[in-house]
C-alpha cells in the first residue's frame, strides 16, 4: 500500500518511540540508538538475501531453507548471493526466522547469543570477497554482550526480542516515497532524545531541505554525474540526496566518527547502492586524507563549524594549502575544509558547502584565502545566506558557498539573501518547498531580485576589500513609514487639553476633601 512521507514517518517514529521506551533508563539515549539502527539494518540485509534467493530459486520449486540443505544447490546459491549482494545469511540466522522463534515464546530457541552468531556469520561470509571492507566492523557499535542490556543472557535476550519485534513492524516502503529510513531514524533519535550528545561528539546533521539545495546546485543541468565526494560525509544522507537529483556513478566520502561512518555504509546499502559504487573511509579528512590525487564532478559538505585543527607547519608543503601563502588559524578550520574540497574539485564540477557566516568577513589568514579564491582564482560562484536555527545542535545562521573552477574572467558572484524565507515549526525553522525552489531558480538563472539577490562584479567585491557579508551586496533595508507631522502636532495639542481637563477634575475632588 502506498503511503505518503508524513504517514510513513509517523509510523516509523511510533515504532522508534516504543523501542526507546523499552531501553529507557538502562543506557544513554546516544547508545541505545545504535542498537535500534543496527537491528533495522540487519532486518533489511536479511530480507534482501531472502528476496534474492527466492528469485534465484523461482524455477526450482523450493524455498531458501530447503535449498540450503542440499549441498549441490547451496554452494552455487551462496556464490550467486555473494556476487550480487556482497554477503549471505544462513536461513537459521534470517531475521524472519528469529521472529518466528520469538513468537513461539518459551518453546522458541531465540536468545541474544543467536543474534551474535548471526551477525558474526554475515561478516564472515564477506571475508576474502570484494565486499569485505564494506562490511568490516559494521555492527561494532551494537554491543550485544553489554550488561547495560541486562545482567544475564536471559535478560538481554528478552530485551533484544522486544526490539526485534518492534523493528519487524516498521514499514519498509521506499520506491514511492523519499523518506530516508535510517537517516530519518537517526535524526529523530538525536532530536528527540540526544541533541546534546550529537553536539558533544562534533556531529552535524544536514536537514533534508538544506541537502536538497546543495544537491540541486551541484547537479544543475545534468541528468547523470560521474562521481560525488563529501569529505565529512556523516550518515551519507547528503550524498544520497545528490543521487536523487542526478544519477551518480560512484560515491566517495570520509568520516572521522566511527559510529557515523558505520551508519553511512549502512545507509548506502539500505538505499540499494551496491557496495562497489561507494568508497568511504574512516579517518581525519584534513590530517589523513584518503582520496588524494582524485578529482570529482560534484563536491558537497556540511563540515563541523569553526572546529580546531593542528595548523602544523608541515601543511605549508601540502598541495592542498601550499598555494595560499599562509595557513588559517588553529581555532577555525572552516577554510581548511574549503581548500581541501577545492583541491578535489574537477574542472567540470561544482562544489557547494555549508559554513557559518564568519567565513564571509573574518580577517587575517582567512581573509587571504578568501581573497585568493576570488581575485587570483576566480572560483567563487555564489554566496547564499540561509535562515538561522535550521540545524540540530546549533541555532546560528549559515551560508552556502558555491565554487566552480571554470568561470569566465568577467563572471559575477551571485549573492542571495534567503534568511527570511522559512516556516517556524516548534523550536526549529524549516525551509518550505517554495523557499528551496526560489533559491535554486534564482541561482540557476542568476536573477536580480530586489531585496533578495544581486550579481556583484569582481570590482564591487574588491571595493569591499573582499568582505562577502551579504548586506553589503543585497540591500534589505526597509524604510520606516513616513510620519505625518501635522497629525502629530494635532494629537499633542489634544493630549495637552486632556491633561488640563484631568488636572481640573482632580483639583475639584481635592477641594471637596478639604485638601
Q: Are 489 and 468 in a shared domain?
A: no
Q: Is residue 194 a part of any domain in this protein?
A: no
pLDDT at 360: 97
Q: Are 212 and 355 in a shared domain?
A: yes
pLDDT in 10s for each residue of the chain, 515 residues: 344 566 777 777 777 777 777 777 777 766 777 888 899 899 999 999 999 999 999 888 888 999 999 999 999 999 999 999 999 999 999 999 999 999 998 888 899 999 999 999 999 999 999 999 999 999 999 999 999 899 999 999 999 999 999 888 877 654 444 456 666 676 666 556 544 444 443 354 688 899 999 999 999 999 999 999 999 998 898 999 999 999 999 999 999 999 889 989 998 998 889 999 999 999 999 999 999 999 999 999 999 999 999 999 999 999 999 999 899 999 999 999 999 999 999 999 999 999 999 999 999 999 999 999 999 999 999 999 999 988 866 788 899 999 999 997 778 999 999 999 998 887 788 999 999 999 999 999 999 999 999 999 999 999 999 999 999 999 876 666 777 788 888 888 888 888 888 888 887 877 777 77
Q: Is residue 478 a part of any domain in this protein?
A: no
Q: Is residue 280 a part of any domain in this protein?
A: yes
**Contact predicate 302/210, CB 8 Å:** yes
Q: Give the 3-state secondary structure of residue 349.
A: strand
pLDDT at 15: 77
Burial class from Cβ neighbours inside 10 Å (0-12, 13-18, 19+) for residue 39 reads: buried
pLDDT at 237: 87
Q: Are 254 and 373 in a shared domain?
A: yes
Q: Which residue has the cell 559538505?
A: 301
Q: Are 409 and 275 in a shared domain?
A: yes
Q: Are 455 and 324 in a shared domain?
A: yes
Q: Which of 212, 181, 265 minimizes the C-alpha distance to 390?
A: 212
Identify the domain containing residue 308 by its residue range.
201-472
pLDDT at 198: 43
Q: Is residue 58 a part of any domain in this protein?
A: yes
Choosing from 161, 176, 191, the residue where a domain stops is 176
Q: Are 307 and 350 in a shared domain?
A: yes
Q: Is residue 188 a part of any domain in this protein?
A: no
Q: Which of 1, 7, 82, 5 minimizes the C-alpha distance to 45?
A: 82
Q: Are 149 and 238 in a shared domain?
A: no
pLDDT at 356: 95
**Contact predicate 244/98, CB 8 Å:** no
CATH of the domain at 460: 3.40.50.150
CATH of the domain at 134: 1.20.1260.30
**Contact predicate 351/407, CB 8 Å:** no
pLDDT at 205: 62
Dihedral sign computed on CA atoms, order 459, 465, 470, 476? negative
Q: Are 239 and 127 in a shared domain?
A: no
Q: Are 117 and 240 in a shared domain?
A: no
Burial class from Cβ neighbours inside 10 Å (0-12, 13-18, 19+) for residue 33 reads: buried
Q: Are 135 and 258 in a shared domain?
A: no
pTM summary value: 0.86
Q: Is residue 330 a part of any domain in this protein?
A: yes
Per-residue cell: 454: 544581486
pLDDT at 354: 96
Domain count, the chain: 3
Q: Are 291 and 352 in a shared domain?
A: yes
pLDDT at 278: 97
pLDDT at 5: 61
Residue/partner pairs of 263-266 with CB below 8 Å, 24 or more apart: 263/37, 263/182, 263/186, 263/235, 263/236, 264/233, 264/234, 264/235, 264/236, 265/134, 265/135, 265/138, 265/236, 266/37, 266/41, 266/138, 266/182
Q: Is residue 315 a part of any domain in this protein?
A: yes
Q: Are 400 and 504 in a shared domain?
A: no
User: Measured between alpha carbons, how far is 338 from 303 in angstroms, rounded to an integer?
Assistant: 9
pLDDT at 431: 93
Choosing from 141, 176, 211, the residue where a domain stops is 176
Q: Is residue 510 a part of any domain in this protein?
A: yes
Amino acid at each position: 500500500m502506498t503511503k505518503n512521507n508524513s504517514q510513513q514517518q509517523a509510523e516509523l517514529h511510533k515504532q522508534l518511540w516504543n523501542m526507546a521506551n523499552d531501553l529507557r533508563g538502562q543506557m544513554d539515549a546516544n547508545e541505545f540508538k545504535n542498537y535500534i539502527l543496527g537491528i533495522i539494518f540487519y532486518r533489511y540485509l536479511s530480507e534482501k538475501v531472502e528476496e534474492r534467493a527466492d528469485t534465484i530459486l523461482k524455477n526450482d520449486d523450493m524455498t531458501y531453507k530447503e535449498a540450503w540443505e542440499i549441498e549441490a544447490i547451496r554452494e552455487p546459491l551462496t556464490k550467486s548471493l555473494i556476487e550480487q549482494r556482497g554477503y549471505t545469511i544462513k536461513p537459521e540466522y534470517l531475521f524472519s526466522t528469529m521472529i518466528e522463534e520469538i513468537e513461539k515464546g518459551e518453546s522458541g530457541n531465540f536468545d541474544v547469543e543467536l543474534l551474535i552468531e548471526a551477525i558474526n556469520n554475515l561478516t564472515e561470509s564477506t571475508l576474502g570477497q570484494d565486499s569485505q571492507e564494506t562490511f568490516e566492523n559494521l555492527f561494532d557499535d551494537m554491543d550485544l554482550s553489554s550488561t547495560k542490556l541486562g545482567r544475564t543472557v536471559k535478560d538481554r535476550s528478552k530485551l533484544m526480542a522486544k526490539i526485534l519485534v518492534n523493528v519487524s513492524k516498521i514499514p519498509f516502503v521506499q520506491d514511492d516515497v523519499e523518506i530516508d529510513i535510517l537517516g530519518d531514524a537517526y535524526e529523530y533519535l538525536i532530536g528527540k532524545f540526544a541533541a546534546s550528545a550529537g553536539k558533544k561528539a562534533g556531529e552535524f546533521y544536514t536537514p533534508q531541505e538544506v541537502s536538497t539545495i546543495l544537491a540541486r546546485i551541484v547537479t544543475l543541468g545534468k541528468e547523470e554525474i560521474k562521481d560525488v565526494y563529501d569529505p565529512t560525509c556523516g550518515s551519507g544522507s547528503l550524498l544520497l540526496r545528490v543521487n536523487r537529483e542526478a544519477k551518480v556513478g560512484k560515491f566517495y566520502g570520509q568520516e572521522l566518527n566511527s559510529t557515523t561512518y558505520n551508519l553511512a555504509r549502512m545507509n548506502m546499502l539500505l538505499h540499494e547502492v551496491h557496495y562497489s559504487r561507494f568508497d568511504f573511509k574512516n579517518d581525519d579528512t584534513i590530517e589523513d586524507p584518503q582520496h588524494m590525487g582524485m578529482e570529482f564532478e560534484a563536491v558537497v559538505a556540511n563540515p563541523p563549524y569553526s572546529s580546531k585543527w593542528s595548523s602544523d607547519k608541515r601543511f605549508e608543503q601540502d598541495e592542498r594549502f601550499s598555494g595560499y601563502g599562509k595557513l588559517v588559524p588553529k581555532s577555525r578550520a572552516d577554510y581548511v575544509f574549503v581548500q581541501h574540497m577545492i583541491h578535489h574539485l574537477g574542472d567540470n564540477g561544482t562544489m557547494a558547502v555549508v559554513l557559518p557566516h564568519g567565513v564571509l568577513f573574518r580577517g587575517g589568514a582567512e581573509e587571504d584565502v578568501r581573497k585568493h579564491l576570488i581575485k587570483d582564482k576566480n572560483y567563487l560562484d555564489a554566496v547564499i545566506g540561509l535562515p538561522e536555527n535550521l540545524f540540530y545542535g546549533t541555532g546560528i545562521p549559515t551560508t552556502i558557498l558555491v565554487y566552480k573552477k571554470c568561470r569566465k574572467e568577467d563572471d559575477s558572484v551571485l549573492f542571495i539573501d534567503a534568511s527570511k524565507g522559512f516556516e517556524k515549526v516548534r523550536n526549529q525553522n524549516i525551509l518550505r518547498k517554495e523557499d528551496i525552489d526560489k533559491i535554486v531558480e534564482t541561482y540557476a538563472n542568476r536573477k536580480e531580485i530586489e531585496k533578495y539577490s544581486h550579481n556583484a562584479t569582481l570590482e564591487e567585491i574588491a571595493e569591499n576589500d573582499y568582505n562577502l557579508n551579504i548586506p553589503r551586496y543585497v540591500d534589505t533595508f526597509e524604510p520606516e513609514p513616513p510620519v505625518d507631522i501635522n497629525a502629530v502636532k494635532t494629537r499633542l495639542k489634544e493630549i495637552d487639553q486632556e491633561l488640563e481637563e484631568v488636572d481640573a477634575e482632580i483639583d475639584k475632588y481635592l477641594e471637596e476633601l478639604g485638601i
